[in-house]
Structure 1
Amino acid sequence: MDNIFSQLDGSHKTPSNYRTLKILMLCWEYPPNIVGGLSRHVFGLSVHLAEKGHEVHVLTAINGNLPSFENMDGVNVHRVKPINQYDDNFLSWIGGLNLAMAFKAEQLAEEIHFDIIHAHDWLVGSASIVLKETLKIPLLATIHATEYGRNNGIHTEMQQFIHKKEQQLICESDQIIVCSDYMKDVLNSIFKAKNDKIAIIPNGIEPVLNELDTEEIFPELKDQKYIFSIGRIVKEKGFETIIEAASIAKEREIDCFFVIAGKGPMLETYRRQINVRNLESHITFVGYVTDEQRNSLIAGSELAVIPSLYEPFGIVVLETMILGKPTIVSNTGGMKGIVKHLHTGLLMTPGDAESMLEQIDFLINHPLKAEEIGKKGRQIVTILYGWKRIASETSRVMEDTVLNKRVHTDAQKETPNNLKKV
């Protein structure tokens, strides 16, 4: 976290030589089409880059009855249909999306002289790399997560395919952004990326207000004290650890109830586990919730637990901390860079239900300390992770990338042909 402190110190100030850019942003999901945290990140970043005066164009996939173009909060959003829109094979669908994105971007480039391409993860890597060569402009990539990290290694053909796509995007990018020191170490060790090519800029979050009454949304929680967790319901988020903790709590007659929100492929599996183990009195999965419902559930909880086994950053940690809730997180990935144990939150051993219960017990039995931790957590998130600050740092990296590319191009033009061959 100290590295993030030093990198962001003063970065929100606009430099005297600041100039605006025309930015082509590629991301497969964008609000209101939300699959995971990627869409929220790109939305927050693009809106605040636009507020700084940049001309931002986001290329994304069309979904439902959404228009093919609209200006949202100052951002030009272009939605395209994948070439093979109804293909059930995800990799084929992604391939068709990249073809459609590349075609649309070339159309836009006939009227707009873009300065830089900003790609978000391997899902848009193929189009981004092609556009870099076609438009002759630099490519900036934000690597939000890796297939290696999600699966603790590469074990299947599909994982190998994605891993190679990530490698290609990292190799072809002129500059890379990651969200934490942890992710920088991953790119160094797994992909052999060079340090001078990587910038660390954390995810951001907006100040939030809780305007809904939890009991009105979820009447079953009336007068119920509960511990809250949220995330995409997949194995790497560590919700099995909460299920195990609930089982231990039931066995030891510990009075605690877990409420978990989110959607994902493991949701029904986890619900069946709860039924089979008769844990309904200690844990519930409420499924998908809106942002407003999420904020209400956080505000109504005693504390929050984010038990991820793999988490490059952990935007959900910011979501609980900014509402002043004492938060327990796994001592792994980017989360351990956000939370300072017993100061802005608590750390638990990843995958260890006993460790989780130990931290929960401490917070419940030390309410004044828990309140202090919640307040300090909120302060640190507000100071360090506001989107205006994150956008300012990203803007600086973009400007440097554009300038470096031009200097390199000019140098090549000035080099005699006989020296180029050498």
Structure 2
Amino acid sequence: MKIAIFTESFLPQVNGVVTSICNSSELLSKRHDIEIFTVGSGPGRAAGCKVNRFRGLKLPTYPEYRFFVPGKSVWSRLAGKRADIVHVRSSVGFGLVALRFARKRGIPIIGTFDTPISDYVHYIPVLGKIRLTKSMLSDVALKYTTWFYNRCDVVIAPSGVAGEWLRKAGCKSKILPLSNGVDTRRFSPRKKDSKLKARLCKDGLLLLHLGRITKEKSVSVLLDAAASLKDRGTKFKLVICGKGPALRTMKSRAKRMGLERHVKFAGFVSDSDLPKYYASADIFVTASTVETEGIVLLEAMASGVPAVGADSGAIPEIIDGSNGALFKAGDPESMADAILKISGKRREFARNALQSSKGFSLEKTAKRLECIYEKAVREHDKKGKKE
């Protein structure tokens, strides 16, 4: 089977969508011909696949992200490309290209609902004197999202919450649940590095947060929870790994709060070092409320590390109370309570976290994705013959 994947998020970007694409493509490329179409500079091959790269616009509000704007040159480059099925991981920009690519070739298109774009409208720069409120932009984004996914043959939702969100928004396409999965061989308790642990945290709990440093990830709540732990006399070190448009703001905030000795901004962590960072932590923490699944939670649990997450979005579908603890979204005191709850029975929580991760193994999810592809092609061919 020849599979064309269209996405605006891909290497060298680092985020959950990129991780998901690389993981599944690397496995499925052993049996299928996969070609990736993306934006920005980078290698011509990755994850065992050929990568076609197109120019994109840099968002001034989010420099790491490249936004694709369709043009005539795109169609000339795509003219000779063929595929049996299209999988689109971006609903804007390249998403429109993917829809046309599939329609012109008479092939099915699968869309994965990775992100409610209505949660990210604050990155849209103000154009000229046009004044649009966040609620106005969110309403437009919601309607567009529904319009887009209604043009897909099948929509993959990485969680039950994501699927329900789409249905309530008015999506009529077939919606199938499928986790992004986690590489349980790569992420393992065996990757623990005692020297790294000692370097990051000499005494007390090592709390790890890993991800983009952005407004919607609620890193400010993490810092407020750290301040609460400090006031309670808890020995700990919160290590925040990653970069993003809110990094400078969060560093300044931590300094103003007097958290220099308790919070470390470790910056970007290389792909090769990720497993040992996870496995060396005592508790993984996130205050994000916009997760359609939360791959970082799965990676932490596969590393034998219990997680603390907000009782919001898809996170309660992963953290069940035995493998970690939930806290009231946006409430730093509740988050601090959850951290202390786990610290008292960390070994028990860690054991349950590791067991939970096995249900999300990459092998299982990749096989399920392959079945979705094959069924979509069969049904599309059958429908074409009837017409």
Instruction: Give TM class, smaller chain.
Output: 0.7 to 0.9
Q: Does 1:75 align with 2:49?
A: yes
Aligned residue in 2 for 1:15 = none
Output aligned runs, 1:33-72, within 5 Å: 33-51=12-30, 53-63=31-41, 66-67=42-43, 69-70=44-45, 72=46
Shift of residue 168 of structure 1? 3.1
Rounded to whole Å, the distance in 2 between the matches of 1:217 and 1:98 is 49
In the alignment, what sits opposite 1:121? Answer: 90
CA deviations over 1:209-249 (Å, ceiling 9, x no partner)? 56584645984534564211111111221221111112222
Tell me what 2:174 maps to: 197
> Relative to 1, partners in 2 of residues 1:88 and 1:287: Cα closer, same or farther, differing over 3 Å?
closer
Query: What is residue 257 of structure 2 aligned with on the other side?
Result: 277
Question: Which has a greater percent of helix?
Answer: 1
Amino acid at match of 1:238: S
SS in 2 for 1:363: helix
Change (3 A) 1:216 1:390: closer
The question of 1:406 aligning with 2:384 is answered no
> Which structure dedicates a bigger proportion of its chain to strand?
2
TM-score, scaled to structure 1: 0.80
CA contact (8 A) 1:212 1:292 kept: no
| 2:242 is the counterpart of 1:267 | no
**Number of residue pairs matched by the alignment:** 372
Identity among equivalent positions (%) equals 23
Query: For the Cα contact (< 8 Å) 2:192–2:280, is it kept in 1?
Result: no
Among 353, 356, 360, the residue aligned to 1:385: 360
Say whether 1:331 aligns with 2:331.
no
Question: Which aligned pairs between 1:37-186 and structure 2 lie closer than 5 A?
Answer: 37-51=16-30, 53-63=31-41, 66-67=42-43, 69-70=44-45, 72-82=46-56, 94-96=67-69, 101-109=74-82, 114-123=83-92, 124-150=94-120, 155=134, 159=138, 162-186=141-165
- Matched with 1:371 is 347
CA contact (8 A) 1:256 1:282 kept: yes
The corresponding residue for 1:228 is: 208
Distance of 1:242 and 1:141 partners within structure 2: 33
Distance 2:61 2:289 in 1: 27
Question: What SS does the corresponding residue of 2:273 show, helix, strand or coil?
Answer: helix
Offset at residue 344 of structure 1 (A): 2.0
**Residue 107 of structure 1: SS of its match in structure 2?**
coil
- RMSD of aligned Cα (Å): 2.8
Q: CA deviation at 1:324?
A: 0.2
- Are the counterparts in 2 of residues 80 and 100 from structure 1 also a CA contact under 8 Å? no
Query: Normalising by structure 2, what TM-score?
Result: 0.87
Contact 2:222/2:286, CA 8 A, preserved across alignment: no
* Distance in structure 2 (CA, Å) of the matches to 1:25 and 1:364: 42
Unpaired stretches in structure 1, ≥5 consecutive residues:
1-20, 413-422
1:257-282 deviations in Å (ceiling 9; x for gaps):
21111111111101101111211122
Deviations 1:327-373 (A, max 9, x none): 112122111111211x222211111112111121122223xxx2122
Task: Tell me, in whole angstroms, the C-alpha distance in 1 between the residues paired with 2:5 and 2:26.
Answer: 12
1:132 and 1:138 in contact (8 A); partners too:
yes
Distance in 2 (alpha carbons) for counterparts of 1:102 and 1:268: 40
Aligned 1:285-324 pairs, distance under 5 A: 285-324=265-304
> What is the Cα deviation at residue 103 of structure 1?
3.8
Give the direction of change, closer, same or farther, for the CA distance of 1:160–1:126 in structure 2 (3 Å limit): farther
Which structure is larger by alpha-carbon Rg, 1 or 2? 1
Q: Deviations over 1:82-136 (max 9, x none)?
A: 4xx6796989963435765544332223xxxx11111002132110111122111
Structure 2 stretches of 5 or more lacking a match? 123-132
Contact 2:157 2:178 survives alignment (8 Å):
yes
